[in-house]
Amino acid sequence: LQDKSDAYKYLFKDFDYAKQFLKILVRPAEMLPNYEEFIYRCDFPNLLTFLVLDFEEQFKYIRNDSVIEWQVTDKELFEIAIENLSNENVEVKEYQFGDKFTVYILFNGDFSASYTLLLEEKLEFSIGAFGSLIAIPTKGTALIHPIETNEVLDLIEILYPLVQKFYIEDPGSITLDFYWFYKRKYYMVDKTLDGERAITIKLPKKLIELFAKK
């Protein structure tokens, strides 16, 4: 880490220059004990999307009181940050699991998890008839499955060990939870522990209702 305090002072005075460095990062809330002091929003249940400056290979989480001179709303800041994120080089590879489930895995050192907020803009091929199943175990890895059948629980059972492996071994761990994306909204896939090893997964009620109408 390098001391860039003088540079940040300048950036927080000159919005027209600083806006090119705006990005977003999806992170666990507990990563910043005083997260309320920073600019964030909630996209994924139980996670926070922080506004950051991606400047000279360091991330600066932006405090609420740092941007007063910018005179720009949080909504506008996030719109710019997401547009900047869309220009990131994220590698997308297609895999088959269980001989019938297509899963796209995103690879990027810092922005794979954040990039899942661009499903409709950049990853529309990963959205199925019933939306998408998403796992974001780390900042650099994300898994997306276009849901076309009601067999998604079978896929979660197959993917869970891989998600655990990414979460444990790769830097920037985020969550072991799965999410369902449908019509621009992210829903939690409930998970409860039964004993030390067994896990019970429960799909969102709305997704179950969609399957029933098929």
Average pLDDT for residues 75-89, to the nearest whole number? Answer: 97
Check if the beta carbon of residue 90 is closer than 8 Å to that of residue 114: no
- Does residue 1 carry a pLDDT above 60? no
Per-residue pLDDT band at 31 (split at 50, 70, 90) = confident
The predicted pLDDT at position 132 comes to 98
Residue 186: which H helix or E strand, with range? strand 185-194
Query: Each residue of 56-83: b (16+ CB within 10 Å) or e?
Result: eeeebbbeeebbeebeeeeeebbebbbe
Q: Which of 115, 166, 159 is nearest to 138 (CA)?
A: 166
Per-residue pLDDT band at 33 (split at 50, 70, 90) = confident
DSSP 62-88: PBGGG-GGG---HHHHHHHHHHHHTTS
Q: What is the pLDDT of residues 158-197, one digit of tens each?
A: 999 999 999 999 999 999 999 999 999 999 999 887 766 7
The predicted pLDDT at position 178 comes to 97
- Which distant-in-sequence residues (6+ apart) come within 8 Å of 45 by Cβ? 179, 186, 187, 188
Burial label, 49 (beta-carbon count in 10 A; 0-12, 13-18, 19+): buried
pTM above 0.75? yes
Q: Which of 46, 111, 39 is nearest to 76 (CA)?
A: 39
Mean confidence (pLDDT) of the chain: 95
- Does residue 70 carry a pLDDT above 70? yes
Q: What is the pLDDT of residues 202-214, one digit of tens each?
A: 999 999 999 998 7
Q: How far apart (Å, rounded) are the C-alpha atoms in residues 100 and 95?
A: 10
Check if the beta carbon of residue 88 is closer than 8 Å to that of residue 108: yes
Average pLDDT for residues 97-110, to the nearest whole number? Answer: 96
- Does residue 36 carry a pLDDT above 60? yes
The predicted pLDDT at position 185 comes to 97
Residue 206: which H helix or E strand, with range? helix 205-212
Classify residue 2 by its DSSP letter.
-
